[in-house]
Structure 1
């Protein structure tokens, strides 16, 4: 079993064992708490709920992107979603950078979202990570703000 490679008592030599570090590595209380959390999440089907709201968000953002005349792509799975202003739909992080048609759009979208009370990690990458506290109303607000942003972006690009 792969976990046996982490047993430093059986594998004393550095080249014999796998290294795994972390803040709470080997802490039995952290392990018990983590296991209890996973059981609670599974019993309440939290992952299914997150995936449903995520899929709703992906489809809603894709609809806005399809209605736009700009090359905009939405990627994601479950509760992890990305918006890309790229010439083609990215299949990896490298493509998502190489195929960008405008670097300035990302910070503009980030600022617009912040002004509307929507926060995400980086102004250089429009990635969203949903949590169990998000519901359909949060997604609808984000999609509405995104749609208005795209409308204003199209007008600005058209006017030169």
Structure 2
């Protein structure tokens, strides 16, 4: 799996069980951030603990496991610090979800490395396209997506929080040469 160095720390990305303690902690951090941002924007407040628990219960991540899914954990040094989930939608398309890099480590190369690992995982699944939906206020995520080859596309599904949709084609020319 890919690695990137920054300062004295190194990023590593590897598959993880979505129900591992580190994955659950990253998923909670992801939900707290996206929920707090939503409530700050729309209601001028942070999420309540009950809203976080409700969000986690309403959007479980257990489907991000083999054989139709995958959960990646990024470590900065020894610390779990980033994650992303991939789910097969059909034989040609995978959906990217739960992309998160700890705010204090954004800009250190982990996001790009995470997205490269997502591409590699999608190729290993045999798909040629990755899709995702997100909210307009998640600027850092949207920037990461466009910087790593995603383009805005028409809506491919409905979702309560889906405001913008992206896709990336994994062209044969982008694939590494077999060694």
Answer whether TM exceeds 0.5 for this pair.
no
Q: TM-score, normalised by structure 2?
A: 0.23
* Structure ranking higher in helix proportion: 1
Structure with larger Rg: 1
